[in-house]
Chain A
Amino acid sequence: MGDAVRVRAVRMVFDDVLALDAVDLDVAGGRVHGVLGPNGAGKTTLLGLLLGLLAPRSGSVEVLGVPVVRGAVLPAGVAGFLDAPGLYPGLTARANLMAVARLAGAGGAAGSRVADALSRVGLAEVADDRVRGFSLGMRQRLGLAGALVTEPRLVILDEPANGLDPQGRRLVQAVLEDLAADGAAVVVSSHRMDDLADWCDEATVLAAGRAVFSGPLAKLAAECGPLEHRVVVAEPQRARAIAETLPGLTVLPSPRTAPDTVVVRGETAAIEEFAAAVVGAGAGLRSLAPVVSPLEAAFVRLTGGEEA
């Protein structure tokens, strides 16, 4: 399947502030691509380019094969939102979606598309309520439905799980999977690594306007380096002594509130060797888990320790 998004060497500067620098991005149809980065890394600017709300100062952006240039408009088939869904509070949920569907040229099919989208995001029962009374989570769902009614070939979503409960997150995942299964390319940003791990096939990590990683999530996880693990044992003094003797393992201070926990940092092989040694020594291994997920560790490492 051809690339729905093709970004090459894009550079964006706003009032002497570098927002994007030499960024490349390719997203094929049928793929869900995550965009990650700390605050100010350039995520919103990149998504704005893909939505045609900005034009690149240098470099090139192509969306569904059409170049994004100043004064031009995007081709039909691009949907999504930036920051938050654009909704008119005085209109009902159905009226908001009907407008979007008609603007997308749905014509006589608008009604059935809207009913289907409302059902898919779980808002069928409040379809004729004004959006003014909707919660943040309901607005997010309605924004997602707005993307669905256009039958898009490219969907750009900025923090679609913002304000959603776990059930809502699962719903987003289901919708994204359906879109990808239908052949649409999806570009999604989120500050929650677990969401991206659930939703995405691949990701691009931005830091200070530069793409520091782009590729499959499995490859991103491999970038995590030595991981910190919490090891809960029956005899922490003994386990700590074992850890100090093993090469490739660093013993870190234990949490004050968890005296039975030993925190160590090392590559996967060293961690496995340590676990085996603890078991062999009869120190009572009760649990072993990474302090942060490999994806999060990779993110922190690639972006210089900043939060997403």
Chain B
Amino acid sequence: MSAVLDRRVEAAAGPASWRAVLGLEIAKTAAQGRIQALVALCAVVPGVVVVGLSLQSTLPTDTVFGRWIPASGWAGALVVLAFCGTWMLPLLTAVVAGDAFAQEDRLGTWRHLLLAVRSRRRIFGAKVAIAAATLLMLVVLIAVSSVVGGLLSVGPHPLVGLDGTVLTSHAVAVRVLAAWVSVLPATAAFAAIGVLGAVLAGRSPLGLLAPVVVGLGLQLLQLAPLPAVVRLALPSAGFLAWRGLFTAPAQTAVPIAGALVATIWTVVLLAIARHCFVRTETVLGEPVGAARAGLVAAAVAALVGGGAGVLAATTPAAGSGIHRAPLEASLAESFAHLYRRQSAELGRPDVAEADLRARASCDRGGPRGVDDGPGHDWRCVVRWRLPGVATIGRAIYQLDVAPDGRYVADGDGPTDVNGYFLVRTDLGDAPNPLWQVDGLVDLLAAPTKG
């Protein structure tokens, strides 16, 4: 039947009003025990975790901003965001969104709903809208809870960014808000995966597991050494892209690309899900069928291939996106900022970053290795010169560079610069800012600097 005739018949028949359909979806969602439990958990657990971390002597230094939890109340919200973006949000999102559809299958209420609403399009639209609103509420609760936990336990102190700059409390607050907002498109994309899985497979094992497996798979791909443009063409990239907001100036290319990519994934996957939902004759859970499986496979291939192609054509990105020159520039800049911070802690004369003229020289895997790509075998030497001092300072760092561009530079001497975890200040022992350095390489930057 043609779409025109579909619309004409639907208009003549008069489906239930949007208000009534949305009202039913809200009532059903609010009455679900699992949603109520999730709301409670999201409102309480992140804050409790942040307070707990701030009281611990051992910090989660392997998580971005983990080492700064005792120093700034804003760091806790970012640690929670990093954890949520890696595993929790993708799974939670896919399951919650998918369950909006699968619950009708589970309760045997599809026929009732189809008869009462008299429009598959409105059912689909209302379910997607309410699932999105539910997820938005959960994300907001997690963010607010973690922020409140951090601010109550530590306070709104400035935070050291991923290039060593000290961000004021106001600047961090704005960036924390932007960071949580930046994961919303990726959250929507994973919600679309959940919806598509539920529409295609209902409450069958495939329908329940597919979104989870796909979510885990996409997250695992982020750990693999993929070309940067392919990595950023995946919807999961949006969960990591916020880190670029914590440099000065902000690395906005990756967050923007992540948001655009995730939005396109969302639109395409929801369009497929809607098409399949409207075309399904009776209820969900009918065999997926070769045609539908082929449609989904083709769409995913087009999204990854097309996205990677567009990014390759419009950005200077090449290979893994992790190259020696940008890495050296990033480490030298971070070192300069943190050296100044260390000087302040130790009561040494202040020195501007530009006056230090810090330079880094990096090598990966020894003389025969290719100085490119992620890995834990990067070794860098940072050299700097204090104004009026003839001697060139020299510090060694071992770098562990993740495929997403984040790295941790671990001080390897000399001991008076980066050898100890703590430094002795007039006010007592304080963390040594040069002991370990967090940094971020812009994956979409040109392989060569300058």
| A90 close to chain B: CB less than 8 A | yes
Q: Is A81 an interface residue (CB 8 A)?
A: yes
Asked if A182 lies at the interface with its beta carbon under 8 angstroms from chain B, I say: no
Q: Complex: how many Å from CA A76 to CA B117? A: 9
Main secondary structure of the interface of B (DSSP, over half): helix
Most buried by A among B20, B107, B109: B20
CB distance from A169 to the nearest CB of B (A): 23
**B382 CB to closest chain A CB, in angstroms?**
60
- Whether B115 pairs with A53 at a CB distance below 8 angstroms is yes
Are A66 and B9 within 8 A (Cβ)?
yes
**Which of A28-36, A102-110, A111-119, A250-258 lies at the interface with chain B?**
A102-110
CB neighbours (8 Å) of A90 from chain B are: 28, 31-33
Residue contact B10 to A73, C-beta cutoff 8 Å: yes
Note all chain B residues with C-beta closer than 8 A to A78: 115
B313 lies within 8 A of chain A by Cβ: no
Interchain CB contact under 8 A, A66 and B278:
no
B residues near A75, Cβ cutoff 8 Å: 12-14
* A83-B16 in contact (CB<8A): no
Q: By the criterion CB–CB under 8 Å, are B108 and A84 in contact?
A: yes
Chain B positions 1-51 with a Cβ under 8 Å from a chain A Cβ: 1, 5-6, 9-10, 12-17, 19-21, 23-24, 27-28, 31-33
**Chain A contacts with B in 64-105, Cβ cutoff 8 A:** 66, 69-76, 78-91, 95, 99-100, 102-105
B31 touches A88 (CB 8 A): yes
Query: Given A84-B108, A86-B108, A102-B20, are A48 and B282 also a contact pair (CB < 8 Å)?
Result: yes
Report if B111 contacts A (CB, 8 A).
Answer: yes
A107 to chain B, nearest CB (A): 9
In the complex, what residue of chain B is closest to A68 when comparing beta carbons? B9
A55 within 8 A of B: yes
For the complex, is A175 an interface residue (Cβ under 8 Å from B)? Answer: no
> Does B114 lie at the interface of the complex (its beta carbon under 8 Å from any beta carbon of A)?
yes
The answer to whether B119 has its CB under 8 Å from any CB of chain A is yes
Distance in Å: Cβ of B413 to nearest Cβ of chain A: 63
A76-B17 contact in complex given A81-B112, A102-B23, C-beta closer than 8 Å: no
CA distance A296 to B211 in the complex (A): 51
Complex interface bits, A39-60 against B, C-beta within 8 A gives 1, otherwise 0 = 0000000001001111100000
A53 to B107 alpha-carbon distance, docked (Å): 17
In contact, A103 and B9 (Cβ under 8 angstroms): no
Q: Which residue of B lies closest to A81 (CB)?
A: B112
Are the CB atoms of A103 and B21 closer together than 8 Å? yes
**Closest beta carbon of chain A to B417's beta carbon, Å:** 62
Bin the interface of chain B by size. Answer: 35 or more
Task: Tell me the smallest distance from the CB of A147 to a CB of chain B, in Å.
Answer: 10
Contacts of B1 in A (CB 8 A): 69-72
Residues of B within 8 Å of A88, CB to CB, are: 27-28, 31, 107, 109
Residues of A within 8 A of B12 (CB): 66, 75
Q: Report whether A86 and B17 are in contact in the complex, using a CB–CB cutoff of 8 Å.
A: no
Contacts of A69 in B (CB 8 A): 1, 5, 9
Are B111 and A72 within 8 A (Cβ)? no
Q: By the criterion CB–CB under 8 Å, are B115 and A52 in contact?
A: yes
Smallest CB separation, B5 vs chain A (Å) = 8
For the complex formed, measure the closest distance between the CB of A145 and the CB atoms of chain B, giving whole angstroms: 13
Q: Is B416 an interface residue (CB 8 A)?
A: no
Q: How near does chain B come to A247, taking the closest CB pair, in angstroms?
A: 54
* CB < 8 Å neighbour of A72 from B10, B14, B16, B110: B10
* Residue B118 interfacial (CB < 8 Å): yes
B446 sits at the interface (CB 8 A): no
In the bound complex, how far is the Cα of B251 from the Cα of A266, in angstroms? 95
Contacts of B282 in A (CB 8 A): 48, 53-54
Contact residues in B for A84 (Cβ distance below 8 Å) = 108
The verdict on A85 contacting B17 (CB below 8 Å), with A69-B1, A90-B28, A102-B23 known, is no
Q: Are B108 and A72 in contact (CB under 8 A)?
A: no
**A103 cross-chain contacts in B, Cβ below 8 A:** 16-17, 20-21, 24, 116-117
The reply to whether B107 and A79 form a contact with Cβ atoms under 8 Å apart is no
Is the beta-carbon distance between A74 and B115 smaller than 8 angstroms?
Answer: yes
A98 to chain B, nearest CB (A): 8
Say whether B23 contacts A99, CB under 8 Å. Answer: yes
User: A residues within 8 A CB of B33?
Assistant: 90
Q: Are A53 and B28 in contact (CB under 8 A)?
A: no
User: Which A residues are CB-close (under 8 A) to B117?
Assistant: 103
Instruction: Decide: A99 and B24 in contact? CB cutoff 8 A.
Output: yes
Knowing A71-B278, A104-B16 are in contact, say whether A79-B23 is a contact too (CB < 8 A).
no
How far is it, in angstroms, between the C-alpha of A99 and the C-alpha of B16 when the chains are bound? 11
Q: Can you report 23 residue pairs joining A to B where beta carbons are below 8 Å apart?
A: A51-B115, A52-B114, A54-B281, A66-B13, A69-B1, A69-B5, A71-B5, A71-B279, A72-B5, A73-B9, A73-B15, A82-B111, A84-B108, A87-B107, A87-B112, A90-B32, A90-B33, A91-B31, A102-B19, A102-B24, A103-B16, A104-B16, A105-B20
Given A88-B28, A99-B24, A102-B19, 6 further pairs, Cβ under 8 A:
A52-B114, A72-B1, A75-B14, A79-B115, A104-B16, A105-B17
